[in-house]
Structure 1
Amino acid sequence: MNVSLYIAKRYLRSKSSNNAINIISYIALLGVILGSASLFIVLSGFAGLKDFTLQFSTIIDPDLKAVVAKGKSFILTDEEAVKLSHIEDIVVFSKVVEERVFIQSNDKSYPSASIKGIDDNFKRVNIIDSILEQGNWLQEKTNQIVVGSGISNNLSFGVLDYNKVINIYVPKPGKGQINSVEEAFNTVNAVNVGVFSINESLNDTYVFASLSLAQHLLNYKHNQISAIEFKLKEDTDEAWVREQIQAVLGDKVVLKNRAQLNDALYKMLNTENLAVYLIFTLVLIIALFNVIGSIIMMILDKKKTLNTLFNLGANIKDIRNIFFLQGSLMSVLGGIIGIAVGLLLTLNQLYGPIGLKFFITASLPYPVKIKIINVFIVFFTISVLGVIASTIASARITKNLVQDY
């Protein structure tokens, strides 16, 4: 039997004759519990907030997107299109043309928009019904457009607003002196049939148009495009599909999934997650100072017992191990209870009555998500910090301390 572990568990369960030490021990345990619960709740809240943010930022991003590797466009031959359609795990793909444009409506202009020319398959690749705020979706081979709410507000036009003339301009490629606007820009007149709303950045940027309109505006050939967006079957091996697509299209394209298309956003969210973890780990470290103080007070209170153990043959390492195990057990126990408390509060936020939830707005509960990995992160963090704190506290035991009683 491990004598040090047995005594450590006895010290952990039993009360000291000194009430001050009991109070300090309870405060130390409570600090560990609250610190662990706080860390778990914050990680769960950030996981929910991350998913909540990404569902709006990636709503019009496909499962996979083939973007041009060099330049602004590439040619998709009929043979390549047929081969892509025969790849088993691809449900559908949509051809896309994208370019920066200048929009003018009557006396107002908007220089920082991007046109996205799409074909009929775009509606099958992306969920568009959920983003439409007003009007209807555009029809292929027309001059209809659907703009973001930010562009609509800036240029002061709505749906089917025939009193407003909408012109879309793209600079013409080439060299030489320019003598007129017609020589400098390709232009088309458009009719706005819908307004979408996703997030502020996309609302202020995108104009959806038919693929043929965008190709005409940019002087592209009928099979010249900027990208291809793919919808994949559920539970598909993405790596295998990538290989199949790359075999068809070669090195003229680069394939990106949702995370890669929003790599800046993912990096920002992951950095914030790490920062939050480090901040609350610091809170845990401060809480574990109470554990160190509690163990040191216990050592001083048990000097007579330690002297007896030393005289019975226990060495300094064994005596240190008693308080090392006591502190470690206190940290692990507090961590387990804290995780349980945090889990209960998180479950309440997910499934509890409305009156007990926290809300961002009057109708939007704060988003949370329970992830098993967060349970292990919190438990590992508190265990490591508890071991370090216990090592520091138990190191106070010296031969002089147990002998000089």
Structure 2
Amino acid sequence: MQNKLFIASRFLFTRDKGKFISIVSLVSSIAITIGIASILIVLSIMNGFESEIHKRILNVEPHITIKSTQAISSNPLNLIDLTFIEGIESISSSIDSKGVIQFNNLTAGVQIKGLDILDNNSTGKGFFGQFKLSNLGSSEIIIGKSLAYRMGIRIGDQLIIRIPSLENKASFSLGKSQSYIVSEIIEFGLAKFDNSLVIVASNQLLGSGMDQNLFNHWSIMVKDPYQTSKYIIQLERLLNNTGLTVSDWSMNNSALFKAIVIEKTIMSTLLFLVVLVAMFNIMVMISMTINEKSKDIAILRTLGFREKDITQIFFLQGMINALMGIFFGLLLGVIALKNLSKIENFIDLVFGFDFFPSGLYYISNMPYLLRLQDIIIISVVAFLVSFLAAYLPSMKASKKDPALITRFYRN
């Protein structure tokens, strides 16, 4: 094997008249390097965006939501009974509804969340997701930052909430109005909340006579938000035939996560085509080497090398080329990711292109998440394709008849 590896490396890095083969080999390795690095960088950046979205959703949304289509006045569920399930950290009830807020001469449709943290679940008391709602008074309201900016609302301003209702099939009413003082303006980190979410105390909503069209919601926070499926199974078993539905944060945002998966798949497939083209270059390079080294093949056969040995020599030549490209591609990808912020700053300095202008995006730097499983998958797939690209043309070398080759060169 050592002799075969030596011969393969000599064929690969030849300095004689087959110098063009070395150029093709170098171009193939560079193409594989760029392709592998591109796949790793793109996947890691998309993983970073996905992780960032997860964090922001979990900062605001409950891990598990229980919903009821019954009016708030009828509560078929005693939530305290759920606290015995291991892993559940807090339970809170809320009133969720759509409504309209009025400020000066402006109106906007909003999502209203009336919070009521259970007193005997002190770990969750006063929190909405990971946001601490300190000193939320009965006549006070918390609104999203984008909504406040759009309507020119500041802390201390007074605004009016109306919850529309259908009084009968033929008439529509804006419902009763309730005044609130803005106590806090929060940047939740997700546009759908910053643009339309307002938070009030649920007892204020119930006391205003606006409860006829509201629904029961219960928010559950668990120890591990990525293991909600096991809790959902237990909750569905407990809440069977109660008219309550159970969902988790991933179900509530399933369309978004499916879109991310589709984007990652499409981008990875397109970039892998670059690697595939480079692998075809390896096939071309091996075929050229076989034609160029026909005399050497005949000499090796006369020295006692078998057909299998000749195949292995050219196979090793192709695999050395491919493995160099894969290794340096992974190395380049990791280095680029570790210096991603410096690369962003360099592009901004040289070309004046800012990836995330302040005020337009919630993040200032491009996030990335380098996963070992991605490195393994990329390496394995690239290796398998390299194996085929190197093996198929190598079989051609073993079919050459040394006697015919020797006769050709004599003539």
Name the stretch that deviates more: 378-387 or 224-233.
224-233
The alignment status of 1:189 with 2:187, answered yes or no, reads no
Whether contact under 8 Å (1:76, 1:225) holds in the other structure is: no
Cα distance change of structure 1 residues 331 and 76 upon mapping to structure 2, 3 Å threshold? farther
Of residues 98, 112, 115 in structure 2, which corresponds to 1:115? 112
Q: How many residues align?
A: 386
SS in 1 for 2:200: strand
SS in 2 for 1:296: helix
Counterpart for residue 379 of structure 1: 379
Structure 1 residue 83: Cα displacement:
0.7
The alignment status of 1:146 with 2:142, answered yes or no, reads yes
SS in 1 for 2:319: helix
State the alpha-carbon separation in 2 of the partners of residues 355 and 204 from structure 1: 30
The alignment status of 1:250 with 2:250, answered yes or no, reads no
Counterpart for residue 106 of structure 1: 104
Structure 1 residue 62: Cα displacement:
2.0
State the alpha-carbon separation in 2 of the partners of residues 360 and 184 from structure 1: 43
Structure 1 residue 7: Cα displacement:
4.9
Structure 1 residue 345: Cα displacement:
2.9
Counterpart for residue 126 of structure 1: 129
State the alpha-carbon separation in 1 of the partners of residues 92 and 101 from structure 2: 25
Residues 356-371 of structure 1 mapped to structure 2, 5 A cutoff: 360-361=355-356, 364-371=364-371
Counterpart for residue 59 of structure 1: 59
Whether contact under 8 Å (2:35, 2:275) holds in the other structure is: yes
Counterpart for residue 304 of structure 1: 295
SS in 2 for 1:185: coil
Counterpart for residue 227 of structure 1: 217
State the alpha-carbon separation in 2 of the partners of residues 218 and 13 from structure 1: 85
Structure 1 residue 157: Cα displacement:
2.4
Whether contact under 8 Å (2:32, 2:322) holds in the other structure is: yes
Structure 1: gaps (5+ residues): 130-135
The alignment status of 1:170 with 2:163, answered yes or no, reads yes
Structure 1 residue 378: Cα displacement:
1.6
Cα distance change of structure 1 residues 357 and 107 upon mapping to structure 2, 3 Å threshold? closer
Of residues 244, 254, 270 in structure 2, which corresponds to 1:279? 270
SS in 2 for 1:59: helix
State the alpha-carbon separation in 2 of the partners of residues 330 and 218 from structure 1: 76
Instruction: Give CA deviations for 1:64-113 in whole Å, capped at 9, x if unaligned.
Output: 22234x578694457x2221233342221111211111222232221x31
State the alpha-carbon separation in 2 of the partners of residues 241 and 167 from structure 1: 39
Structure 2: gaps (5+ residues): 118-123, 349-353, 359-363
State the alpha-carbon separation in 1 of the partners of residues 401 and 339 from structure 2: 50
Counterpart for residue 26 of structure 2: 26
Cα distance change of structure 1 residues 338 and 16 upon mapping to structure 2, 3 Å threshold? farther
RMSD of aligned Cα (Å)? 3.6
State the alpha-carbon separation in 1 of the partners of residues 291 and 272 from structure 2: 29
Counterpart for residue 85 of structure 1: 83
Counterpart for residue 132 of structure 1: none
Cα distance change of structure 1 residues 47 and 239 upon mapping to structure 2, 3 Å threshold? closer
Instruction: Give CA deviations for 1:288-307 in whole Å, capped at 9, x if unaligned.
Output: 23322321221121111223
Cα distance change of structure 1 residues 176 and 75 upon mapping to structure 2, 3 Å threshold? closer
- The amino acid of 2:116's aligned partner reads D
Cα distance change of structure 1 residues 46 and 237 upon mapping to structure 2, 3 Å threshold? closer
The alignment status of 1:264 with 2:255, answered yes or no, reads yes
Whether contact under 8 Å (1:116, 1:214) holds in the other structure is: no
State the alpha-carbon separation in 1 of the partners of residues 73 and 385 from structure 2: 55
Cα distance change of structure 1 residues 16 and 29 upon mapping to structure 2, 3 Å threshold? farther
TM-score by length of 1: 0.80
Residues 188-227 of structure 1 mapped to structure 2, 5 A cutoff: 188-197=178-187, 198-216=189-207, 219-220=210-211, 225-227=215-217
State the alpha-carbon separation in 2 of the partners of residues 369 and 356 from structure 1: 21
SS in 2 for 1:389: helix
Fraction of identical pairs, as percent: 20
Name the stretch that deviates more: 233-242 or 166-175.
233-242
Structure 1 residue 158: Cα displacement:
1.7
Counterpart for residue 292 of structure 1: 283
